[in-house]
Amino acid sequence: MSSGVDVRRRPGIWSYFSFNSGPRRRTSVSLPRSNTETLHDDPFEKPDRHTRRRSTGTIGFMDKGSAMNQGRQARYLKTGGIIAFILLILYFIAPRDGISRESFSKGGGNTAEPGAETKQCTKSYSKDKPLIQYALMIDAGSTGSRIHVYRFNNCGPSPELEDEVFEQTKKIEGQSSGLSAYADDPEKAAKSLDVLMEVAKKSVPESYQSCSPIALKATAGLRKVGEEKSKKILEAVRNRLEKVYPFPVVSEENGGVEVMGGEQEGVYAWITTNYLLGKIGGPDKTPTAAVLDLGGGSTQIVFEPTFPDSASGGMPKHLEDGDHKYELKFGGREFTLYQHSYLGYGLMEARNNMHKVFLTQLHEQNKDDKSWLKKSIVHPCLSAKMAKEVEVTLGKDHPLGETVSVNFTGPADGEPALCRGLAEKTLEKDAACKLAPCAFNGIYQPKLDQTFAREDVYLLSYFYDRTQPLGMPESFSLAEFRDVTHRVCHGEEAWDVFQGEALEELKGRPQHCLDMSFQLALLHTGYGMPLEREVKIAKKLKGNELGWCLGASLPLLSKESGWQCKLKQVTK
């Protein structure tokens, strides 16, 4: 939806808050689906593997000269039939080989096994690809680990996602359940994934497991434990995946188990979103959507800027060269993307950054007295009259100590403007800008209102998690986002527009005001989006999880991506 949409022509934002389930829809997206309702053969078997050749001769010993009498003919026929029946039984019960490799290609299908069939077609588009393929991706994030089990069909020139199974490690109050939580115990870190791998084994048909590749990519959380510790954890993970589970692990050279670069994280999320929207991977050259992903430790922005052939009036002519420029080939098309990953600006990091700025300001006002640390401290970023005990990491050289535990209390009437000010201070808009224009923290970014003014903008992860539970619609303007944020910050007396689950969410999360204030500052002040700009929130499209995982999994469907089917011992 373009920035030129007149928000007065559609329902006001407050008309959506009586709904407590999924976000109300102003727009809809869908994946193309075929109406074909046929079954298929086993993709992991060559079409003629089990085909028995017909004999060109006759059964029995009949003499064309009619020398045999009818009794002898009957006896021969009966004996031949018995022998043929015995041979047929032996054929089916005898093992073919001592060792077999699950065949990876050439079409076919075993429709008797659940998960081994598709309703879209009966034959693979390419003879070099199976009809059905599975790919597994583990997202080792800063707050926990998650597995995505994808099932694709190859009915067309590009793989079509049919199903996804998603599972995550159990959340632990006050701490991460991800690999970084076991920084000093690599083996325990590897075993923490067992619960996810059991889900994978149940989701992928047994006959497909040895040819269904798996990869693990760690994000911001594991980057922060240090190179030496993260390396040991990843080695333990690879070792356990290879020895305990039936899935082939993508090779080290191809990044099968690795700490993923932030630029990859953002680009993969962009691929996922635009693939599910049908904007890439097909024959049509449609405008693509921007993707803004907010994780716990980092945040990413990726979009395809456009530059008029005759740029003037301060309009740039092209995307400047640099690390931010990402050339992508996908589905027969070429894309020049702008991308950047801001490490340290994920939501959990943003909370700590804002608390640190706030406490530092208080220290500057009370340098000779630290007794205030033991008292309840009024914090503008907590919703009015709410309280929260918070542990803040200040750094080794901070005059208040490396970490402090403090009791914050929200102001009597809410202070959204002051909270927004704290958020903007953490963005460092005044940092030196070596290559203009800059977004924040001195990072170059083409202006969105010039190079991406009308295309869709999708907000993922924590953007969704903090707005959808409040009943916000699928699409809204930043001005509407600001109005809701103000309501949240002003506390329970201003929450009359919220009902049911939304109220429970707000009452159980005193820092909701802080979270939304930071998100608003990031979008408007940081990335430079005008308040009238429409954005979309999403967690899934047509039942498929958004984020970087699908985009990273699509390349695994090619055996050139660094894996081979596992050998499987056949027991007699």
- Give the model confidence (pLDDT) of 72-116 as tens digits: 566 767 777 777 777 777 665 654 443 334 444 434 444 456 666
388 and 253 part of one domain: no
272 annotated as ligand-binding? no
Q: Is residue 100 part of a domain?
A: no
- Cα–Cα distances (Å) from 391 to 118, 352, 394, 437, in that order, read 51, 9, 10, 36
Residue-level pLDDT at 39: 37
Instruction: State yes or no: 405 annotated in a binding site.
Output: no
Same-domain status, 237 and 370:
no
The last residue of a domain, from among 382, 399, 424 = 424
Q: What phi and psi, each to the nearest 5 degrees, are found at residue 304?
A: -105, 95
Q: Report pLDDT for 479.
A: 98
Domain assignment present for residue 157? The answer is yes
One domain, residues 356 and 247 = no
* pTM: predicted TM-score of the whole model, two decimal places: 0.73
Domain co-membership, 358 together with 249? no
What is the separation, in whole angstroms, between the first and last Cα of the chain? 61
- Please name the residue ranges forming H helices in 277-391: 347-365
From 117, 265, 304, 505, active-site residue: 265
Answer whether 282's CB lies under 8 Å from 158's CB: yes
Cα–Cα distance for residue pair 128/108, rounded to 1 Å: 12
The annotation status of 266 as a binding-site residue, yes or no, is no
Amino acid at 380: P
Kindly report the number of other CB atoms within 10 A of residue 145's CB atom. Answer: 26
How many structural domains is the chain composed of? 2
Residue 113 and residue 256 in one domain: yes
- How far apart are alpha carbons 237 and 441 in whole angstroms? 35
Query: Would you say 554 and 275 are in contact if contact means Cβ atoms under 8 Å apart?
Result: yes
CB 247 within 8 A of CB 565: no
**What pLDDT was estimated at residue 16?**
63
Domain hosting residue 403, numbered range: 347-424
Q: Is residue 393 annotated as involved in ligand binding?
A: no
Structure tokens that stand for 409 in this block:
């209390």
133 annotated binding-site participant: no
What pLDDT, on a 0 to 100 scale, did the predictor assign at position 315?
67
Of 424, 453, 486, the residue at which a domain comes to its end is 424
* Phi, psi (deg, nearest 5) at residue 252: -60, -40
Whether 559 maps to a domain, the answer reads: yes
107: left (phi over 0), alpha (psi -120 to 50) or beta: left
The set of residues, in sequence order, having a beta carbon less than 8 Å from that of 188 and lying 6+ positions away, is 182
Domain ends where: 400, 424, 448? 424
In a domain? residue 186: yes
Classify residue 341: in a domain, yes or no.
Answer: no
* Shared-domain flag, residues 377 and 239: no
Burial grade of 216 (CB within 10 A; 0-12, 13-18, 19 or more): buried
Furthest C-alpha separation in the chain: 125
Q: Mark the ranges of the chain whose per-residue pLDDT is less than 70.
A: 1-12, 14-74, 76, 90-116, 174, 309-315, 568-572
| 349 assigned to active site | no
- Which residue in 96, 99, 123 sits closest to 40, CA to CA? 123
Residue 176 sits in a domain whose CATH number is 3.30.420.40
